[in-house]
Amino acid sequence: MIDIELIRTNKDLVKENIKKKFQDEKLPLVDEVYDLDIKRRKAKLDGDNLRKEKNDLSKQIGILMRDGKKDEAEKIKEKVKDANDKIESLEKEEEKHLERINEIMMVIPQIVDASVPVGKDDSENVEIEKFGDPKVPDYEIPYHADIIEKLNGLDKISSGRVSGNGFYYLMGDIARLSSAMLAYARDYMIEKGFIYCIPPFMIRSDVVKGVMSFKEMEAMMYKIEGEDLYLIGTSEHSMIGKFKDQIIKKESLPITMTSYSPCFRKEVGAHGIEERGIYRVHQFEKQEMIVICNPEESMDWYNKMWQYTVEIFRNLDIPVRTLECCTGDLADLKVKSCDVEAWSPRQKTYFEVGSCSTLGDAQSRRLGIRIKGEEGNYYPHTLNNTVLASTRALIALIENNYNEDGSINVPKVLWPYMGGKKVIK
């Protein structure tokens, strides 16, 4: 959510930003907000003037009654009643305009950073940098589900009976390997000074609306029937929601937290749910990181955060690259975002394993998170980044550490979490 002052003072900038995101259907909304804001402020001003006039008249009534001028006092009372009726009408008008303004402001996209490349969709994202040497062995690497099944580590037939498509059972050493990656990612972030947290796995609708756009919400969130609760699609939402309606002391910044949670996603869209494997599923586990900071520090934190993810994957012997998300691929609340993609020696290409974003003050405005500064309160910036998502990281690890005999090498950093086991056979 942008500051309405920006529409009052620079409509063209807001419209140009909408065009960059290829959302031209939203252009008329800017003018609508501009006009409604003028009407709302006029209704408020007229109401304030009438209240002052009413107060002055009310004082006269007391004086007239004291002086025995009852008839004149009654005439003034009529004027006061008339003023009250007009004030009530103006308040309703102001409320109606404000409701529509807030409705529109929730769908006008955040102003993207000047460095973000212009593009229509993810096909126009721009590669930034590669880390590690992507290799293709001289032997065939099977599909990840086949590898795991041969190691007695995956059962999708049973999960289909129990839960339906999009779910899975991980078993034995493969399940342990998945947990080992998450534990390592957790400890890595703690060593970086982040506070570890296990958050609520369900959040209320006012938090959902505060942290994401309606379009994302509809495509991702599972709602609990009969209750004002949603299963989280990522713990970032629950973590940022922790500070809803709070005033934070400036000296408490930056707030840096890392969280573990299961994640639940409908995965609505053309891509669908993967029937055989675990690349796109309804449920997975994730280690996440969030930062709440002063506006001038947000880009520095943004660059630190995606680099943490890169380092974790390189420590797992997985080559990765970073992609700058173009304007058309940015969710409406995001100012700047990049994807971290892992190398797939089987497909001979990269695939997404995480995403890092700065959202400016969009979430803090929606949720009422403010910082108490020396010169008054202001909105902080919020950032989030995937440390490690279990299923996709597991695929990347298995493919990049797969041996010709069907075994999987366990990266050295995970040995302590695997009871010293170095190879899964």
Percentage of the chain modeled with pLDDT above 70? 98
* CA–CA gap between residue 284 and residue 149 (Å, rounded): 18
pLDDT tens, 106-130? 999 999 999 999 999 999 999 999 9
Share of the chain above pLDDT 90, in %: 86
Write out pLDDT tens, residues 301-336.
999 999 999 999 999 999 999 999 999 999 999 999
In a domain, 10, yes or no: yes
What is the pLDDT at residue 61? 76
**What φ, ψ does residue 5 adopt, rounded to 5°?**
-60, -30
Q: Same domain for 296 and 235?
A: yes
Q: What CATH number is attached to the domain comprising 174?
A: 3.30.930.10
Quick check: 405 pLDDT over 80?
yes
* pLDDT at res. 271: 62
pLDDT digits (tens, 9 = 90+) for 74-98: 788 888 888 889 999 999 999 999 9
Cα torsion through 10, 13, 14, 16, rounded to 10: 150
pLDDT band, residue 55 (cuts 50/70/90): confident
192 and 96 share one domain: no
Where in the sequence is the domain holding 327, given as residue range(s)? 122-424
Q: What is the pLDDT of residues 25-49, one digit of tens each?
A: 999 999 999 999 999 999 999 999 9
Number of domains within the chain: 2
What would the mean pLDDT of 222-242 be, rounded to a whole number?
A: 95
Confidence of residue 273 (pLDDT cuts 50, 70, 90): low
Res 177: pLDDT: 98
User: How far apart (Å, rounded) are the C-alpha atoms in residues 283 and 172?
Assistant: 19
Which DSSP letter does residue 325 get? P
Are 368 and 407 contained in the same domain? Answer: yes
Average of pLDDT values for 419-424?
A: 97
- In this predicted model, what pLDDT tens digit does every residue of 10-24 receive, in sequence order? 999 999 999 999 999
Smallest Cα–Cα separation from 310: which of 362, 355, 349?
A: 355
Does one domain contain both 70 and 190? no
Q: Identify the pLDDT of residue 268.
A: 65
Residue 39 domain-assigned (yes or no): yes
Say if residue 103's pLDDT is above 90.
yes
- The verdict on 128 and 57 lying in the same domain is no
Whether the pLDDT of residue 288 is over 60: the answer is yes
Give kind and range of the element (H or E) at residue 355.
strand 349-358
Instruction: Please identify, among 105, 139, 154, the residue that sits at the C-terminal boundary of a domain.
Output: 105
Indicate the average pLDDT of the chain: 94
